[in-house]
Structure 1
């Protein structure tokens, strides 16, 4: 029998009455966390050492806390309040973890973190569990949680609830606990009317849960990821990646500006193919004859369309569906899919596929407020074409219906990002050399391994060729690195703004050559010298002159500049959460940050700012930053810095 409550404190009482002593709680990652329920529970146990709490989760999302001073704080504070809402319920335990202020009787284990946000937290770093996403359900089951708490969607007068944004591991965890002979945990749902209702396998009867909570309004907005501007390097990477996608194939992408760039490039390929090819020729005149493009990709519009199968659905998939790039439907009827594959379809098969098939599968979703509104407003037939599935179905082939999934995922392309790639083919994506975790492995290893298991599938890891830190410009193509996420024996395709490096099945020497070909010109000599000293490259090898000529940030920007100015490559291809004034400020502040990473850079930038004259229209930007009437010396310098940034990015 399912209990129903409207009061969060009463819900905590309900839980505490049914569990004696320590509490072990599981909660979904990201959007599916019931923030208010978790806060009520944490408030109850925070000062009560007789009630130890262990929480198993991932990606605990809180709005950023802008610094109290400086240009970043001036920009972010008003934006964060407007975008997230002043009443957004911050996760109290996550704030405590970030400050290393969790009480000793409370432990939080996470297998994925908000990227780079918890590098300074000892409690977060010690509580991290390194897992492939497909292993998370069994890891939670091993802890024998007393309860799983989850946010759900509900339609009026409907006895079914939608797991909506998080169909990923709840059911897998229940199966794993049953396999271990463990009792079924209490299942607690918090209904959020803001959450889009998605049907299919994401729905369960209300009796699936032991307790359903319907908190009273007002209902805070869902956590929305602010969409960031796409840089020249990101666009170049996205354009190269788009050439590796085969019409009629399968697509998986990650999140962030690289995913935005891929999505935009695929849309451009489909909707304005002539201009798309013109951009590619400017980027690389030989790209159309690239062996990897010829073997596994294409440049033509999508006649059949793609099937999306990605652990996370995001902003890019919205645009790909809207423009008809994603429209190839699949069905869970094995016989039907086999008939489609071998060309022996029955007369009714195509009608069945059209009526019942799905063209987009995901395990969780996360995006902007516009993305959530799109999901809420989908017509019934389009909503039925999106299927939220278990992570065990999305991220792997084994353990379920492998034969069916192989038929559905033909010509699969898995695009994910990494931080560093080595010349011999290994990738670093989740942690630093000293062991501190930046984010997590998530599903990256799953998709890389699947690309080797599926016929005609490829994995592409994308990364920017360089980065700036306190030491200056650094190469992200390294000879070696002290941490590895993807081992080099699973090497496949790497993409950065300088091109495509296909490493699958190559010798070490060929890997070195191909990776150096996409390294920044300023770091190629050192890479080649190290390779020769390590006996991995013939001492007679000489790099072609064209590697130096085209492998620079300036060359990429100059190539793409005409298409930036004409509007084919906009700063925000999938829409923006910033006002027009803020969009200009984002570019200006980004330029300032890039040019002040080193002490000498800060000095040069400040001196240039002191000489920067007032520009026409600067007032509206200074007003947004609260610097239109600077009083102190620091405010006057900040105002001049903003003017300089605006002038340099105009």
Structure 2
């Protein structure tokens, strides 16, 4: 059946939807990339302009470009953002208004996962946040009486007519509409917003034309939102090296996004491509041999032969790099007999239909989007995007098959903090302020405990920079936790691996102390003893006193000097001069956040030292080559101080 209502004009489509559905819009939109910003903005404008109308939006991860502050930050980020995202990129206006507390009273925005840090201090966003496991969202949406679902899609003409691919976001759409049907509720009006650059992925993501009621194919569309690639520092590399030894050949891999995940991927590539160097780096870090001992029975120290199977809620750039390196290659079949034969080594390599990567949504760089498109064209079976109920959940008709597919599973995810007793803090600060959301983290941990060979591995930096100093990310206790202590499993910091599964409280405390920063060991140890969780005669081993940044630098500096641990291992979206500016501007920002730093900055301005290399080019990039105003001259002096700081 063909769609009756087709539009190329976004405003006309929005007016039709408003007329068709009445004064009360209850809208569901995918998380992340799959949100059609243009249509949502049109619906938002129409509602905001008419106090007799209302709009409630249920979504997550509303992606907006960074909003740089005036001054040096704007001078640096302004040109970069326009170049990277495109001058015609469209932000969701409701998210910008929500961040500054300017949502109209007839609009509500409820998200179950926030763009990390973007809405941290927005009272409106904090009040409207819904704390949910990823796999519970579709179920809970059913009771909200959603009357409109909007989604970015890819479109393809076939012999039997048009087909759509849910592409980047089959995650909740498939589950939600199935739950609506099971509940006997009226199906919402479904709008397919076609984006010409969105990769067309078949499999579970492909739906027939009659899946949607309305098609919007705008005459012009902004480029897909692409994440800038992040730098990796030595501490993150250390963490990635430890974590990479926990991965078992022939196993299953879940990884998230961010610098820690990128460091893990780079370490896995090094393990595969230069195993001797990888082992040397691991030995340099693992003087006590603790990580090596765990690798002997949990992971491995050799290159991958059978390869890995990816089953991850999010498909990100790391999987692309692993596939290109021949690591992501173990295929699985959605047929129990074939999967059993494959696990037993009795299935011929040329049996069609197997996939090596299953995900629920994707988000990453433009290179990732091009790779997905090319992979679909060359090998349509390779990647299967499907509902989150399959990817993040074991129970149901697929349980036996999913358990077999995910043999040797390692669920890597990041957290902000952890307690000595093994609870994880990932989404909320001590005062209840939400940073991001639970997302799928509980799902990963629960699956790891249910799968025969599954392990949950939570990655975190041992410390964090705060105003005026350093704090430990390993605490005695914390008011808000995402993963409770009774689901504790494995934690990894730059100082090693703590295996907590099945351990007593005192054993957990000792294991977490063994991966803590040395500057906080005495205080943490004393608190554990005060609460009776550590023996009074326990003595901190001398080896743990070496858990400090300078020892990490000593261990990894030789590998860094040989170019094996580059700042941008997967390429950079910044130019060379911008890469030179980044650490200087970060130093300025850190100094400006506390009085000691401001005093240091004042001294640096008064005694700037000798001119730094590429300083003139850096000043030109920042538009400060020939400042005329007093404010601009001050900014130039600040920049000089930051660029020359290592020479003072």
Q: TM-score, normalised on structure 2?
A: 0.96
CA distance in 2, matches of 1:649, 1:374: 40
Partners of 1:283 and 1:648 in 2: CA distance: 29
Equivalent position to 2:372, from 375, 380, 383:
375
SS at match of 1:351: coil
Aligned equivalents of 2:614, 2:333: Cα separation in 1: 56
Of the three residues 639, 643, 647, the one matched with 1:642 is 639
Compute the displacement of 1:601 (Å).
1.6
2:573 aligned to which of 577, 580, 589: 577
Contact 1:315/1:574 (8 A) holds in 2: no
Q: Deviations over 1:350-393 (max 9, x none)?
A: 321xx211001110000112222222333623343011010000
Whether the 8 Å CA contact 1:287–1:293 is kept in 2: the answer is no
**CA distance in 2 between partners of 1:450 and 1:647 (Å):** 50
- Verify: 1:468 aligned to 2:465, yes or no: yes
Cα gap change, 1:308 to 1:423, in 2 (>3 Å): same
Can you list the C-alpha shifts for 1:418-463, whole angstroms capped at 9, x where unaligned?
1111011011000101111000000000001110000111111111
Corresponding residue to 2:619 among 613, 622, 625 = 622
Q: Distance in 2 between matches of 1:151 and 1:278?
A: 47
Q: Contact 1:282/1:559 (CA < 8 Å) preserved in 2?
A: yes
Q: Which residue of 2 aligns with 1:11?
A: 13
Q: Is the 8 A contact 2:497 2:515 kept in 1?
A: yes
Q: For 1:197 and 1:125, locate their aligned partners in 2 and report how far apart those are by CA, in whole Å.
A: 35
2:553 counterpart residue number: 557
Q: Secondary structure at the match of 2:643?
A: helix
Is the 1:174–1:184 Cα contact (8 Å) retained in structure 2?
yes
Instruction: Name the counterpart of 1:492.
Output: 489
2:151 maps to which residue?
Answer: 150
Check the 8 A contact 1:588/1:649 in 2, yes or no.
Answer: no
CA RMSD of aligned residues (A): 1.6
Number of equivalenced pairs: 642
Cα deviation for residue 288 of structure 1 reads 7.2
2: distance between equivalents of 1:592 and 1:553?
Answer: 21
Spell out, residue by residue over 1:276-296, the C-alpha distance to the aligned partner (whole angstroms, 9 max, x if none).
111111111344764322121
Alpha-carbon shift at residue 8 of structure 1 (Å)? 1.3
Shift in CA distance, 331/172, structure 1 to aligned 2, threshold 3 Å: same
Q: Which runs of 5+ in 2 are unaligned?
A: none
1:636, CA displacement in angstroms?
3.7
Which of 31, 35, 49 is the aligned partner of 1:47? 49
> Quick check: 375-384 or 312-321, which moved more?
375-384
Alignment partner of 1:588 out of 569, 574, 584: 584
What's 2:185 paired with? 182
Shift of 1:15: 1.4
Q: Aligned equivalents of 1:588 and 1:616: distance in 2? A: 13
Query: Is the Cα–Cα contact under 8 Å of residues 245 and 291 in structure 2 kept in the other structure?
Result: no
* Deviation (angstroms), 1:156: 5.0
Q: 2:245·2:292 contact (CA, 8 Å) conserved in 1? A: no
Q: Distance in 2 between matches of 1:649 and 1:123?
A: 43
Give, in whole Å, the separation in 2 of the partners of 1:541 and 1:294. Answer: 28
The offset of 1:210, in angstroms, is 0.4
**In structure 2, distance between residues paired with 1:140 and 1:545:** 54
Larger deviation: 589-598 or 46-55?
589-598
Tell me, yes or no, if the aligned pair for 1:111 and 1:442 is still in contact at 8 Å. yes
Q: Does residue 424 of the first structure (1) align with residue 426 of the second (2)?
A: no
Structure 1 unaligned segments of length 5 or more: list them.
Answer: none
| Residues 216/604 of structure 1: CA separation in 2 closer, same or farther (3 Å cut) | same
How far apart are 1:471 and its partner, in Å? 4.2
Q: Which secondary structure state, in structure 2, belongs to the residue aligned with residue 460 of structure 1?
A: strand
Q: 2:376, 2:382 within 8 Å by CA — same for their partners in 1?
A: no
**Structure-to-structure mapping, 1:402-417, within 5 angstroms:** 402-417=399-414
Cα offset for 1:173? Answer: 0.3
Q: For residues 151 and 649 of structure 1, what CA distance do their matches in structure 2 show?
A: 48
The correspondence for 2:324, drawn from 322, 335, 339, is 322
